[in-house]
Amino acid sequence: MTTFRILPVIENRRLGPYTLLRIKDVGIHKYAGCGQFVMVGLSFLRDPFLLRPLSFLSVDNDSFSLLIKIKGRGTEMLSMVKPGEYLKVLGPLGRTILPGEKGILIAGGIGIAPLFYQSQWMRGGVLLYGAKDKRELVLVKEMEDRGLVVKTITEEKGGTVCDLVMENIALLKGQRVFICGPVAMIKSLREIIRDYTRETFVYLERRMGCGIGGCKSCAIKTGYGYKFVCQDGPVFPLEEVEIG
Amino acid sequence: MTTFRILPVIENRRLGPYTLLRIKDVGIHKYAGCGQFVMVGLSFLRDPFLLRPLSFLSVDNDSFSLLIKIKGRGTEMLSMVKPGEYLKVLGPLGRTILPGEKGILIAGGIGIAPLFYQSQWMRGGVLLYGAKDKRELVLVKEMEDRGLVVKTITEEKGGTVCDLVMENIALLKGQRVFICGPVAMIKSLREIIRDYTRETFVYLERRMGCGIGGCKSCAIKTGYGYKFVCQDGPVFPLEEVEIG
Amino acid sequence: MADLSVSFTGIELKNPVMLASGVWDLPYTELIDFEKLGGIVYKSISLSSREGNPPPRLTEIPCGVINSIGLANKGIENFNKEILPQLKDLGTEVFVSIFGESIEEFAELTSRITDVSGIEVNISCPNVKEGGLLFGADPDIAYNVTKAVCSNTDLPVIVKLTPEAVDIVKVALSVKEAGASAITASNTFQGLVIDIETHKPIFRRITGGVSGPAIRPLSLYKAYQITRAVDIPVIGSGGITDWMDALEYFFVGVSAIEVGSAIFNNPLAPIEIIDNINRYMDENEYKNILEMKGEVNEERC
Amino acid sequence: MADLSVSFTGIELKNPVMLASGVWDLPYTELIDFEKLGGIVYKSISLSSREGNPPPRLTEIPCGVINSIGLANKGIENFNKEILPQLKDLGTEVFVSIFGESIEEFAELTSRITDVSGIEVNISCPNVKEGGLLFGADPDIAYNVTKAVCSNTDLPVIVKLTPEAVDIVKVALSVKEAGASAITASNTFQGLVIDIETHKPIFRRITGGVSGPAIRPLSLYKAYQITRAVDIPVIGSGGITDWMDALEYFFVGVSAIEVGSAIFNNPLAPIEIIDNINRYMDENEYKNILEMKGEVNEERC
Ligand SMILES: Cc1cc2nc3c(=O)[nH]c(=O)nc-3n(C[C@H](O)[C@H](O)[C@H](O)COP(=O)(O)OP(=O)(O)OC[C@H]3O[C@@H](n4cnc5c(N)ncnc54)[C@H](O)[C@@H]3O)c2cc1C
Ligand SMILES: Cc1cc2nc3c(=O)[nH]c(=O)nc-3n(C[C@H](O)[C@H](O)[C@H](O)COP(=O)(O)OP(=O)(O)OC[C@H]3O[C@@H](n4cnc5c(N)ncnc54)[C@H](O)[C@@H]3O)c2cc1C
Ligand SMILES: Cc1cc2nc3c(=O)[nH]c(=O)nc-3n(C[C@H](O)[C@H](O)[C@H](O)COP(=O)(O)O)c2cc1C
Ligand SMILES: Cc1cc2nc3c(=O)[nH]c(=O)nc-3n(C[C@H](O)[C@H](O)[C@H](O)COP(=O)(O)O)c2cc1C
Ligand code: FES
Ligand code: FES
């Protein structure tokens, strides 16, 4: 059930280089499915004009959380919202996916957000997680507590997610794999893992107008013509989509 | 010395139907003259695009206060600023005036703001003060504590400022009078007091672009051609200006 | 309770607030109570399916958006079979926007449209190679397109103009002459955004169409010019986000309005506009929308 | 340290950031370090004093302003005696904008201007009865005005165009032909705001000129069209509020920019733009502004 509402922020805290916003929303756990996201904006403002797509990071009975990396003005302003202030929230949006019982998650940077949520639906598995530096590696302990085997790498020392995946390529054999991270990472991974995995899914991003399938702006080329990230995604089989 | 700075709000409280904002600004008391104002806006925002002109309500060593009546979107958003948040502040602006030792102040509604500041520079006198209802009569006690004789009237019961002035017309004889309030009130008062006062000054409002004499948008017709409220005012001899 | 209904040249709306073409689709029925809307203009349909422009197709600008969708749609057959039946169930007046790359295409397309409350002729899209605003910028072509549409249908024909026309009033007069029942003024403005990372235009087709509050004073002026010069009803479009924006349009004399990009910022905008116009009319004792029309004075200096 | 200086057709600036005409006046010297600016264009001066339009003269719109100042100024004599000496002391290049209601007025005005770095010819003001954008919208009149100005001065002549011209590229080509050293693209757009309390246009002259971030994608497109079609330098104007906006203009090939309404929102905007362009060029190893020019590709689809 997708709704548009004005909801209060009840927590704003730093998590590594990111901002974690918790938003009050009683009953949201009944609607927010794995793979879904919300469009969020500051109330009162018409500049920034568009709401910003953000993945669910976690959902409980009376609130949900978002993890925000500052990219431009929109995310900067969202990061500064204080408890007691209100946000416009449109969602849940996107198709729910089958998380699978276990499976492999591959995260780059802020890509951890939707994968962390996905892990809430899983019973373990493996997380391969790369970031620029140690500070950017967040929620590792929580993922381990959920029963995932977490392997991390940082660019500071070690290398990229791709290096980490290559080191652990055997783990991917015959598995369902979910990837979320920057376009360049997805492109490289595609080559690396092509012959190993059973199925590979990727969380994609696109500039969005409406977030709900109205404006046709989040088009992505697939083997079946254009699809829409907000409506047909944001998670797609990797082999179906043209990346970048 | 006019400056443009980003300054923190240190207090936001209700005062009657208005919002009182206190803004930290060490040393401002050395610059902010009687009759002057500031242009204020929310930092980060380019919509509302223009800063809003607001009179000094009070000034001390390390802060100044503004009293805001919500009129449209700009004042509404300013009223919601929380302590710890920052405002863009341009000022002090406008010409300083000679408050005079005593004299008569006539305030309608939010017109009390600059007159309250003026009274900080005076040594008593009389305040004739009208408002819609009792809740709108603010700062009366403080004015009395400053040695002013305060007479009030509300539209609820009693009538308008004009009624109050007529009742007390004898007080105006040969005095310097300062008026701040809505245009309709100024117009009526002009007729009522014309033959009584020694000099009458009026605080005027105009839509402002720059606030500092750059854009020529705050023009007001005077006996000497157009003048500019931000630069030549906001206080003008009543007889010199065309009202409304 | 004020009477918000409007009726003009064969068009009857329970209130003057419509959803503009292209910004919404069926999923919005989950969010908005369509029964409350005066009308809906479905996104522009072409004879055959169009895949639209390569992404990115939309980005934000100050107080608005710029798009290069390129009229992606699945064609008239799909519309008639899959979409229209669902639209008809929504409890509001259904208009369909049509787009052709030639006059013949417009004619043919028109002949395949039945069972709607009216047709909106899109000769104003800035994001296509053929047709689009090239048609709407030229009074003669605009005349011919309108004529072709009008001769192939008995439905009310609304022509949606481009603010990029050399002389929008001339185009308005032409389409009136050709038989248009009403004019929508107006579509998006042409704009350019450069991606400062790539140093290139963000869109593959270089320019896009600018919409949202940013263009409101510009669009309102176009609507104003037309209401004063042309005596067929005008539907205002461009930057309307709240009831005060809507009033500005009514005061220049439009008969209805379309809400477009505003729904990206606030999906409930159209409903809030209706509720607030209602409240405003009650408070100001307007009995019907017509009373608010055209209160704008002659030039005064 | 990057070299921000630019030099074109007789104009030499220490950096490409100028203050636009009409938004500032001498009191700004208290706020901004003028020595840091590439140049300043003083507000449009006419032969004799003009009192300007009746108030209100300006109001806010989404992400911008709309003005109807009407070129209030005290005339050329006052400028030469009272203003110019003060401007010359500011340590930056001084340009003066001129405005006439006839070609003869432009010619006469020009002959009375000396001792500045250049003249900006304003044939693009939307807020006056005679001259203004009526001149700038017509390639022939634009030609004649430019010619008249150029034949009366040895100073660099910059012509400031209106985005409301039927074909701005044609006008640009005309003024180039007539001898213009550079083109400023562009002035404000025409817009309308209705006061919902009075139900009437907020301005006595009905329309006003729209500026600020709201128009940036529209103005940028005009600048882009001109830089591609006309081979004299272009100065970008319209909606520039920060260094990223400025870069968009440089990437379409302008030689300098003017910052206008932005100073209402942030008086320090021009200085911050200069500092940030400097930083950006260092970070990206641009050695001079020219290197950033015109990286925009041909149409790609
Ligand atoms: C389904 C989905 C889920 C996402 N989940 C998260 C998340 O959990 N945490 C997080 O930090 N980020 C997430 N993002 C990315 C986030 O939406 C962008 O970083 C953000 O929109 C950038 O806005 P901005 O104003 O800061 O940047 P700007 O670059 O100033 O934005 C300008 C415009 O571009 C759009 N835009 C820019 N980059 C992107 C992008 N990468 N994806 C989509 N739109 C973009 C903005 O929406 C806006 O319209 C997600 C994106 C999508 C599509
Ligand atoms: C010198 C001066 C001192 C002032 N002091 C105070 C004060 O101490 N407290 C207070 O509450 N108000 C004061 N005002 C009035 C206050 O500036 C306006 O109420 C405010 O600008 C309205 O903005 P808004 O966005 O809420 O309203 P909107 O109507 O949405 O504003 C739209 C535009 O109109 C302008 N505008 C609208 N009304 C006025 C007005 N009356 N005067 C100037 N500009 C206007 C706004 O600045 C803005 O550009 C003062 C005005 C001036 C000129
Ligand atoms: C994403 C998007 C898609 C659009 N598609 C169409 C379309 O298919 N047909 C059409 O006539 N107008 C289309 N428009 C224009 C709108 O219907 C509307 O006229 C314009 O955006 C101005 O109004 P607004 O400022 O309220 O958005 C589109 C606008 C946007 C933003
Ligand atoms: C209040 C105001 C006054 C202006 N006066 C003039 C003027 O006298 N001469 C002129 O050529 N342009 C004038 N302009 C136009 C600006 O110089 C500038 O070209 C335009 O506002 C677009 O740029 P911007 O969006 O950066 O403001 C004026 C603009 C404003 C807002
Ligand atoms: S964002 Fe509108 S269709 Fe996807
Ligand atoms: S507000 Fe700009 S001159 Fe007064």
Could you list the pLDDT tens digit for every one of the 244 residues in chain B?
899 999 999 999 999 999 999 999 999 988 999 999 999 999 989 999 999 999 999 999 999 999 999 999 999 999 999 999 999 999 999 999 988 888 999 999 999 999 999 999 998 899 999 999 999 999 999 999 999 999 999 998 889 999 999 899 989 888 999 999 999 999 999 989 888 888 999 999 999 999 999 999 999 999 989 999 999 999 999 999 998 7
pLDDT digits (tens, 9 = 90+) for D137-167: 899 999 999 999 999 999 999 999 999 998 9
Tell me the CATH number at C15: 3.20.20.70
Alpha carbon of residue D145 to chain centroid: 17
> Chain C: residue nearest B48 by CA?
C63
Q: Which residue has the tokens 């001109």?
A: D226
- Percentage of residues of chain D with pLDDT beyond 70: 97
**Count of helix runs (H) and strand runs (E) in chain A:** 7, 15
| Closest C-alpha to ligand 3, atom 7 | C22
Q: Identify whether C61 is part of a domain.
A: no
CATH number of A5-93: 2.40.30.10
d(CA B180, CA B201): 9
The pLDDT, as a whole number, for residue C299 is 47
pLDDT digits (tens, 9 = 90+) for A183-241: 999 999 998 888 888 899 999 999 999 999 999 999 999 998 999 999 999 999 999 99
Residue C152 pLDDT exceeds 90: yes
Q: Region A31-36: what's the mean pLDDT?
A: 94
The pLDDT, as a whole number, for residue B106 is 97
- Percentage of residues of chain B with pLDDT beyond 90: 84
> Chain B: residue nearest C214 by CA?
B47
Interchain CB contacts (distance < 8 Å): A and D: 3
What is the DSSP code (8-state) at residue C33? Answer: -
Closest Cα in chain B, distance from residue A165 (Å): 41
The pLDDT, as a whole number, for residue D295 is 62
Residue D297 pLDDT exceeds 70: no
**Ligand 4 within 6 A of D187 CB?**
yes
Instruction: Give the closest residue to C58 by CA, choosing from C20, C22, C25.
Output: C22
Contact between residue D168 and residue D229 where contact means Cβ atoms under 8 Å apart: no
Residue D299 pLDDT exceeds 60: no
Residue D301 pLDDT exceeds 60: no
Instruction: Give the closest residue to C135 by CA, choosing from C111, C99, C185.
Output: C99
Between B44, B47, B76, which is nearest A46 by CB? B47
Residue type, A223: G
> Chain D: residue nearest B6 by CA?
D266
Q: Region A13-31: what's the mean pLDDT?
A: 95
- State the angle between helix axes of D243-251 and D216-229 in degrees (0 to 180), rounded to the nearest 10: 30
**Sign of CA pseudo-dihedral C246, C247, C249, C255:** positive
pLDDT digits (tens, 9 = 90+) for D270-283: 999 999 999 999 99
| Closest C-alpha to ligand 2, atom 17 | B53
Contact between residue A68 and residue A75 where contact means Cβ atoms under 8 Å apart: yes
**Alpha helix segments (H runs only) across D156-267:** 168-177, 216-229, 243-251, 262-265
Contact between residue D168 and residue D185 where contact means Cβ atoms under 8 Å apart: yes
Q: Please classify residue A169 by burial: count the beta carbons closer than 10 Å to its beta carbon, then call 0-12 exposed, 13-18 middle and 19+ buried.
A: middle
The pLDDT confidence band at residue D244, using thresholds 50, 70 and 90, is very high
Mutate to test the interface with C, among A38, A210, A227 (most CBs of C within 10 A): A210
Q: What is the 3-state secondary structure (H, E, C) of chain B?
A: CCEEEEEEEEEEEEECCEEEEEEECCCHHHCCCCCCEEEEEECCCCCCCCCEEEECCEEECCEEEEEECCCCHHHHHHHCCCCCCEEEEEEEECCCCCCCCCCEEEEEHHHHHHHHHHHHCCCCEEEEEEECCHHHCCCHHHHHHCCEEEEEEECCCECCHHHHHHHCHHHHCCCEEEEECCHHHHHHHHHHHCCCCCEEEEECCCCCCCCCCCCCCCEEEECCEEEEHHHHCCEEEHHHECCC
Q: Which residue has the tokens 């204080």?
A: A82
Instruction: Give the closest residue to B138 by CA, choosing from B179, B102, B110, B99.
Output: B110
- Give phi and psi for C186, each to the nearest 5: -150, 180
d(CA B218, CA B236): 13
Q: Please classify residue D112 by burial: count the beta carbons closer than 10 Å to its beta carbon, then call 0-12 exposed, 13-18 middle and 19+ buried.
A: middle
Residue C153 pLDDT exceeds 70: yes
pLDDT digits (tens, 9 = 90+) for A107-141: 999 999 999 999 999 988 999 999 999 999 999 99
Alpha carbon of residue D50 to chain centroid: 20
pTM of structure: 0.96
**Sign of CA pseudo-dihedral A184, A185, A187, A191:** positive
The pLDDT, as a whole number, for residue D75 is 96
Residue A85 pLDDT exceeds 70: yes
Which of C63, C125, C150, C301 is the catalytic position?
C125
- Chain A residues whose CB is inside 8 A of the C24 CB are 210, 214-215
Tally of domains within chain C: 1
**Domain housing C238:** 6-54+69-188+212-292
- Chain A residues whose CB is inside 8 A of the C22 CB are 215-216
Indicate the SS3 state at residue C260: coil
Q: Region A25-31: what's the mean pLDDT?
A: 91
pLDDT digits (tens, 9 = 90+) for C234-250: 999 999 999 999 999 99
Q: Please confirm, yes or no, whether C301 is among the known catalytic residues.
A: no
d(CA D19, CA D258): 5
Q: Please classify residue D120 by burial: count the beta carbons closer than 10 Å to its beta carbon, then call 0-12 exposed, 13-18 middle and 19+ buried.
A: buried
Contact between residue A211 and residue A93 where contact means Cβ atoms under 8 Å apart: yes
Q: How far is CA C22 from CA A210, B168, C43, in A?
A: 11, 65, 4
Q: Identify whether C133 is part of a domain.
A: yes
pLDDT digits (tens, 9 = 90+) for C183-237: 999 999 999 999 999 999 999 999 999 999 999 999 999 999 999 999 999 999 9
Q: Which helix (H) or strand (E) holds C55?
A: none
B 106-135 → A contacts, CB under 8 A: none
Q: Identify whether D207 is part of a domain.
A: no
What value does the mean pLDDT of chain C take?
Answer: 94
Q: Identify whether D183 is part of a domain.
A: yes
The pLDDT, as a whole number, for residue C291 is 84
d(CA D275, CA A176): 50
Q: Which helix (H) or strand (E) holds A184?
A: helix A183-193
Cis peptide before D126 (omega within 30 of 0): no
